[in-house]
Chain A
Amino acid sequence: MDHSTFLPAEPSDVWEVLTSPDGVESWLGEGSDLPAIEGAPLDVADVETGIRRVGRVETVEPGRRLGFVWWPEGRADSDASRVELVLIPDADGTRLDVIELPVVASGVATASLQASNSAWTWRSAAVEMAVSAPVLGRGLTLVC
């Protein structure tokens, strides 16, 4: 599984899509609001899952990093997760790394959640899980 995606565009162009009002609507869903302002609330009409997500922007490093916590509306206690989008210049484009991990529910209420030191990429963990899956006999399928 690889959530490092290569995009054939400069980081500044990718950033514009990620954070401009019409860009946000294009990848998250019409009516979505994800201001590139640390501490700002976000409100996403998530076209991917069909559910409304709310949360808060945590990290804004223009052209480099966008971090936020979000959760399905009304489920902050049980379903909050932290997302980090990292843009890395790569050859003639940009590598976009995405990490999403659950966060401790009680911590969501505080404005100063720190990026987890133990953040791990889907790639490393999922590959190992995929290796383990046949032994577990659970028919685990991971997107590769």
Chain B
Amino acid sequence: MPSPDVFDALGDPTRRRILGMLTHGGPTTATRLADDLSISRQAVAKHLDQLRASGLTTVSKVGREARHEVVPARLDQAAAWLDARAREWEGRTRRIEKELARRTAENAG
């Protein structure tokens, strides 16, 4: 099971946007992310800290820049967990629907 930290990190829409930007745009700096998101660099830095703590991103030094990048395996792991739960709940909700239909038919009869 993925760490709960991953889901906490994914729980915020800004952090999900940052992940999307890193995924599509590749490694970048907090300053560029702040510009693209039109929020303060300080706010971006806090989000990046949480993403890094959860293992969803890593940071590396390139010259004087700290570049952040997504860790695909970590994201995949969370998605796989969600996918499995989703399939299970599809089955359960189908059975709830079936039972409701059975009861309705029983009451009608």
Chain A residues near B (Cβ < 8 Å): 1, 3, 5, 7-9, 13-14, 16-18, 23, 26-28, 47-49, 78-79, 81, 96, 98, 100-104, 116-120, 122, 124-126, 128-129, 131-133, 135-136, 138, 140-143
Give the residues in chain B near A81, CB-CB below 8 Å. Answer: 1, 85
B24 engages A126 (CB within 8 Å): no
Contact partner of B88 among A13, A26, A49, A128, CB < 8 A? A49
Let me know if A78 and B1 touch, CB within 8 A.
Answer: yes
- Beyond A7-B100, A17-B103, A132-B24, whether A102 also contacts B1 by CB under 8 A is yes
Complex interface: chain B residues within 8 A of A131 (CB): 20
Q: A101 and B96 in contact (CB under 8 A), knowing A129-B79, A132-B24, A142-B83? A: no
| A132-B86 contact in complex given A17-B99, A23-B99, A120-B7, C-beta closer than 8 Å | no
CA distance A98 to B2 in the complex (A): 19
Q: Scan residues 1-49 of chain B and give those whose CB is less than 8 A from a CB of chain A.
A: 1-4, 7-8, 10-13, 16, 19-20, 23-24
17 intermolecular pairs with C-beta atoms under 8 Å apart: A7-B100, A8-B100, A17-B96, A27-B92, A27-B99, A49-B88, A78-B1, A79-B1, A98-B93, A102-B4, A117-B11, A125-B16, A126-B82, A128-B16, A131-B20, A135-B24, A143-B86
Main secondary structure of the interface of B (DSSP, over half): helix
Q: Is the CB of B96 within 8 A of A116?
A: no
Q: A48-B91, A126-B86 are in contact. List 9 more A-B contacts (CB 8 A).
A: A5-B96, A7-B97, A17-B96, A17-B99, A26-B96, A98-B93, A102-B3, A118-B8, A136-B72
Q: Are A125 and B100 closer than 8 Å at their CB atoms?
A: no
User: Which A residues are in CB contact (< 8 Å) with B83?
Assistant: 126, 140-143
Residue of B nearest to A137 (CB): B72
- Complex Cα distance, B90 from A96, in Å, reads 11
B99 A140 Cβ-Cβ under 8 A: no
CA distance A119 to B12 in the complex (A): 9
CB–CB B7/A132 < 8 A: no
Contact check, B82 vs A125: say whether CB atoms are below 8 A apart: yes
Interface centre among A3, A49, A129 (most CB of B within 10 A): A129
Please give, as numbers and ranges, the residues of chain A lying within 8 Å of B75 by CB-CB distance. Answer: 129, 132, 136
Interface bits B67-91 vs A (CB < 8 Å: 1, else 0) = 0000010011011111101111111
